[in-house]
Structures are given as C-alpha cells and as structure tokens.
Amino acid sequence: MCGAKTGGLSLDGIDIAKETVVQGVVTREGEPVGSAYVRLLDRTGEFTAEVPTSATGHFRFFASPGEWTLRTLAPKAEPVDRKIVAQQGVVTEVEVGL
C-alpha cells in the first residue's frame, strides 16, 4: 500500500522510505482548484518553495522532516495556512478547503 488517496498523485518511481513527501489537493466547495499556489514555509515562517496546483487541484513537495506551514493562495479566496509535521518514509496528505 503506497498511502496515496484514491485518485490522488501517483507515487510510482518514488522511494517513499528515503523521501519526505508532502502532497495534497486544494478544493473549493468539493471541486478541485487548478489556479491556486501552495507555499511551503519553514517553522519560522520563511518562504522555502512554491508550486502551482495541477488541473486536478493537486500539489507535491519533497521536504526535510519537521514542522512546516502550507500557505494556499487562490483567486477569490483568503490565504489558508495549515501547519503540518512531515516525516521521512511517510506521505503527509493534506486537503485544503477554500
């Protein structure tokens, strides 16, 4: 079992045991948001990385283990912050509702 949600991003070719994966989906009223950006902020709030969501609202980061904040930015929505703890060998799945 790979730990990915049904219909989520494929983990084929990723050695989960050696990676720290943070991934998820951004939705609005249950529908995927493909025009959003998700930022990865370290525990002090410093910007580390940013990715756009796919057409299906999905995003993925490869991060270091530890505490992070995901900041989601999308048109016609207030920014949404989610604190997470990422662990090596575990896929951290996050669903962000706008």
Which amino acid type is present at position 21?
V
Q: Determine the pLDDT at residue 13.
A: 81
User: Is the overall model pTM greater than 0.85, yes or no?
Assistant: yes
Question: Which tens digit of pLDDT belongs to each residue from 18-71?
Answer: 999 999 999 999 999 999 999 999 999 999 999 999 999 999 999 999 999 999
The answer to whether residue 50 is domain-embedded is: yes
Residue 8 located in a structural domain: no
The Cβ of residue 88 has, within 10 Å, a number of other Cβ atoms equal to 14
The whole-angstrom separation of Cα 80 and Cα 60 is 17
| Pairwise CA distance, residues 39 & 70, whole Å | 6
Q: Choose among 13, 20, 1, 5: nearest CA to 93.
A: 5
Euclidean distance between CA atoms 73 and 15, whole angstroms:
29
Under the banding of pLDDT at 50, 70 and 90, the label for residue 7 is low
Total structural domains within the chain? 1
The pLDDT confidence band at residue 8, using thresholds 50, 70 and 90, is: low
**Beta bridge pairs of residue 54:** none
Which structural domain range is residue 61 located in? 19-92
What residues are paired with 46 via a beta bridge? Answer: none
Q: Quick one: pLDDT at residue 16?
A: 80
Flag whether 98 is in a domain. Answer: no
CATH of the domain at 74: 2.60.40.10
